[in-house]
Amino acid sequence: MSSLGDQMRDWHRGVQAVARGDWGCALRLFDVPEPPARMCFNVGCVHLLAGDPEAALRAFDQAVTKDPCMAVGFLQRGVANFQLGRFLEALSDFQLALVQLRGNAAIDYNQLGLHFRLQAWEVLYNVASAQCQTGLWTEAANTLAEAISKWPEGAPDILDTALDQVRKQVPLQLRQVPRGEVFRPHRRHLKHLEPMDFLGKAKVVASTIPDDQQSVWPQQRSQVEQDGHQDPPSTGKGLLNGGGGHMSPGLCYRPLASKGSGAGPSEDPSDTEGTDESSVTATVQCHFTIALKVPRGAGLSSLQALLAKALLHQAQLGQLSYQARGDEGLWIPISGDESLHSMWKGMAEGPGGLRLQCQGAVGRPVLYQVVAQHDYSAQGPEDLAFHRGDKVDVLCEVDGAWLEGHHDGHVGIFPKCFVVPVGACEGAPASLGLQPGDQH
């Protein structure tokens, strides 16, 4: 199965192929396993451009089946039926598109990646066009008159001209999505298609084999000599990440002692005998887990300083959170000393010590956490799926209706109205914005 990055890259290349008129290449790039509704819509639009309304009809059938609220999908399916001479089916599709507008004057699809604004008067115009083809000239005139009366600010010149044509029994030309317009991936995802090295180059700390200076590679030994000393061996659990996703087996970090003393080979973070009462064992989860000795009541800057020594400054870019007592699934972001005060106040001494999490070590801090009030199924590769009751870390507020978040190892966007902040009353209404089912 291809990665999210590969899917986004193929989607973007498919859009580029449509722009240059290469229909075959676009169809190959849009052909993905279990395509979402928007990808099926794109395939249908390409078939229309290629002059194959029959194949377009099948693609639009899939699109509206996967997303019954896609008004623009019903509009384009009506166009395909119209081109095939199935005017009654086209009339039904245009009426279904009007139903999905739900009395609104327009639906703006720009936030979903389609540079198109579906106007209610345009849908009524197409309804009148299909009625003309079936010989319902009086009904067509009434439909256009309704469009003029309900949305006089829409396009009065076009509607007035169309009404004159219908009265003279002259058929109308259809209105549809502009040529070459398809759903595009969000520009935010396109910025991250190129590979980036967030970890940088590895730095040698010490050899894991006691008294074995020959096991250090030449370039690593030079680095140690430049530093002027070589740290003694250690049995710490945090392995240095070599930058390419592989673990360097010959290197390790030592647990940091709260009193500044070196950690001997026999030191074990889980061994609480002889532990200074002024310190507490903190287990920090980042790219890997390492045990730190943290002075009780330490401030945020002190925690970051300790982490920076062990994690090559990665922690300074991350968002620190602590695990709530009694709820292993809830991580509370530490935004300042006030949050730390609450953490120390609520922490009871126990064998597990303190658990910290360094999320977003690539510069994406967690703003806050939300709880899903409804199931949300991903409509495209850029969406984040979750189930009712799941906790989601919010990384960015895209706009008034959409959020970007992290859940279960995945990052994506989702409707704001599907979630409420952690701690909010279960019966409280969802945030203002699109309602579930109004995504299109």
Residue 410 has pLDDT above 60, yes or no: yes
Judge whether 428 lies within some domain.
no
Average pLDDT of 347-356?
59
Residue 274 has pLDDT above 70, yes or no: no
Domain ends where: 159, 187, 215? 187
The number of distinct structural domains making up the chain is: 4
- Same domain, residue pair 19 and 156: yes
The answer to whether the beta carbons of residues 120 and 99 sit under 8 Å apart is no
The answer to whether the beta carbons of residues 440 and 71 sit under 8 Å apart is yes
* C-beta atoms surrounding 278 within 10 Å: 10
Residue 338 has pLDDT above 80, yes or no: no
CA 112 to chain centre: 13
CA 248 to chain centre: 32
pLDDT score at 203: 60
Please give the model's pTM, rounded to 2 decimal places. Answer: 0.47
- Same domain, residue pair 375 and 337: no
- Same domain, residue pair 121 and 150: yes
Q: What is the pLDDT of residues 307-319, one digit of tens each?
A: 777 665 444 445 6
Distances 154 to 24, 26, 62, 114, 146 between C-alpha atoms, Å: 37, 34, 31, 20, 12
Judge whether 432 lies within some domain.
no
Q: What is the pLDDT of residues 142-154, one digit of tens each?
A: 999 888 887 766 6
* 357-368 burial: b if 16+ Cβ within 10 Å, else e: bbbbbeebbbbe
- Same domain, residue pair 112 and 126: yes
Vertex 298 angle, CA 292 and 304, to 5°: 60
| Pairwise CA distance, residues 59 & 136, whole Å | 29
- Same domain, residue pair 154 and 269: no
Greater confidence, 127 or 201?
127
Q: What is the pLDDT of residues 68-92, one digit of tens each?
A: 999 999 999 999 999 999 999 999 9
* pLDDT tier at 326, thresholds 50, 70, 90: low
- Same domain, residue pair 71 and 166: yes
- Same domain, residue pair 213 and 154: no
What is the CATH classification number for the domain harbouring 400?
A: 2.30.30.40
| Pairwise CA distance, residues 38 & 72, whole Å | 10
**Coil, helix or strand at residue 215:** helix
Judge whether 363 lies within some domain.
no
| Partner residues linked to 371 by β-bridges | 391, 420
Give which of 388, 310, 288, 294 is closest to 343, Cα–Cα: 294
- Same domain, residue pair 162 and 227: no
Q: Is 254 exposed, middle or buried (0-12, 13-18, 19+ CB in 10 A)?
A: buried
Query: Rg (Cα) of the chain, in Å, rounded?
Result: 30
- Same domain, residue pair 93 and 213: no
Judge whether 357 lies within some domain.
no
* pLDDT tier at 419, thresholds 50, 70, 90: very high
pLDDT score at 304: 76
| Pairwise CA distance, residues 211 & 99, whole Å | 78
Judge whether 440 lies within some domain.
no
Distances 328 to 156, 336, 355, 356, 380 between C-alpha atoms, Å: 61, 22, 10, 12, 31
**Percent of the chain clearing pLDDT 70 (strictly above):** 62
- Same domain, residue pair 31 and 176: yes
Judge whether 417 lies within some domain.
yes
* pLDDT tier at 396, thresholds 50, 70, 90: confident
Residue 348 has pLDDT above 90, yes or no: no
Q: What are phi and psi of 198, to 5 degrees?
A: -85, -20
Greater confidence, 292 or 369?
369
SS (H, E, C) 280-307: EEEEEECCCEEEEEEECCCCHHHHHHHH
Note down the domain range covering 218: 203-231
pLDDT score at 7: 80
| Pairwise CA distance, residues 321 & 333, whole Å | 4
- Same domain, residue pair 248 and 394: no
- Same domain, residue pair 269 and 384: no
Judge whether 271 lies within some domain.
yes
What is the CATH classification number for the domain harbouring 128?
A: 1.25.40.10
The answer to whether the beta carbons of residues 418 and 431 sit under 8 Å apart is no
pLDDT score at 51: 93
Judge whether 434 lies within some domain.
no
* The pair of three-digit structure tokens given for residue 223, joined into one six-digit string: 């680095």
Average pLDDT of 157-169?
88
Residue 3 has pLDDT above 50, yes or no: yes
pLDDT score at 342: 73
* pLDDT averaged over every residue in the chain: 74
pLDDT score at 225: 43
